Amino acid sequence: MKILVPVKRVVDYNVKVRVKPDQTGVDLANVKMSMNPFCEIAVEEAIRLKEKGVASEIVAVSIGPAQAQETIRTALAMGADRGILIETDQTVEPLAVAKLLKAVVDEEGPELVMLGKQAIDDDANQTGQMLAALLDWPQGTFASKVGIADGKATVTREVDGGLQTLALQLPAVVTTDLRLNEPRYASLPNIMKAKRKPIDTKSPGDYGVDIANRLEVLKVTEPPKREAGIKVESVAELVDKLKNEAGVI
């Protein structure tokens, strides 16, 4: 079984993001970039399936600038077999990403697409669902446990009321949640081996996909600074402030 794992290059989760002075977006100059944490979880789960003998090949695919090769190399160092980079310097919206991934799926023919439930830069949580709709495949989102047997994927997913277990007929799309696993660190020998693993570089035009943006960012602003707390002398004063100043009662 072949597993396709899309991975995204984002600002490292330890970095405090800064808004550009003109408020057109987030400042990416001299900022550490890394693989989206949810994508790491998807790569790890695919590798575990391969280690169990369920999967035979893992293909990591990324859409972004040339530097996104580093993100693919991280996936290869973790255990993926080869990579595909769809190179573009343009910001690609979730629908365009889903269309490009569909084209890759049509070309590669995987039985499972496993991707992070969302990216920590835009928090859209849309690509997996859109891809499943375009492919007309069953989907299991927010997976906290995944099992593959007898041509089916059993996905335990987190919902508001607890846990829900789905049986999906393969091929299928699965998006991963935080509690699915803890990604491994790539060892130095595997990092060196990853440098020799192949990465095919394509362009959106190779797949005939229009990636023109449908949305326009009007303004990006930082959240308001948190005000310091105050001490009150009595319960009556507390109630008064909650009612008349905070407006919460």
Q: Which residue has the higher pLDDT, 227 or 19?
A: 19
- pLDDT confidence of 227, banded at 50, 70, 90? confident
What value does the mean pLDDT of the chain take?
Answer: 93
Q: Is the pLDDT of residue 101 over 90?
A: yes
Q: Is the pLDDT of residue 244 over 90?
A: no
Residue 41 resides in a domain: yes
- For 53-89, the pLDDT digits (tens) are 999 999 999 999 999 999 999 999 999 999 999 999 9
Please measure the distance between the N-terminal and C-terminal CA atoms of the chain and give it in whole angstroms: 57
Provide the percentage of residues in the chain whose pLDDT is more than 70.
Answer: 100
Q: Is the pLDDT of residue 223 over 90?
A: no
Q: Is the pLDDT of residue 200 over 90?
A: yes
Give the total number of structural domains in the chain: 1
Residue 235 resides in a domain: yes
Q: Which residues lie closer than 8 Å to 100 by C-beta, 6 or more apart?
A: 63, 86, 92, 204, 207, 209, 211
Q: What confidence score (pLDDT) does residue 60 get?
A: 97
Residue 102 resides in a domain: yes
- For 150-186, the pLDDT digits (tens) are 999 999 998 888 899 999 999 999 999 999 999 999 8
Residue 60 and residue 116 in contact, taking contact as beta carbons nearer than 8 Å:
no
H or E element at residue 240: helix 235-244
Q: What confidence score (pLDDT) does residue 112 get?
A: 97
Residue 108 resides in a domain: yes
Q: Is the pLDDT of residue 217 over 90?
A: no
Using DSSP's 3-state secondary structure scheme, residue 177 falls into coil
Q: What confidence score (pLDDT) does residue 229 get?
A: 83
Residue 70 resides in a domain: yes
Q: Is the pLDDT of residue 247 over 90?
A: no
Residue 62 and residue 8 in contact, taking contact as beta carbons nearer than 8 Å:
yes
- pLDDT confidence of 205, banded at 50, 70, 90? very high
Residue 210 resides in a domain: yes
- Pick from 35-49, 77-91, 194-208, 225-239: least confident: 225-239
Tokens of 215: 């949305």
Q: What confidence score (pLDDT) does residue 204 get?
A: 95
Using DSSP's 3-state secondary structure scheme, residue 99 falls into helix
Residue 150 resides in a domain: yes
- For 4-61, the pLDDT digits (tens) are 999 999 999 998 888 888 988 888 888 999 999 999 999 999 999 999 999 999 999 9
User: Which CATH number characterizes residue 169's domain?
Assistant: 3.40.50.620
Q: What confidence score (pLDDT) does residue 165 get?
A: 96
- Name the residue range of residue 125's domain: 2-244
Residue 249 resides in a domain: no
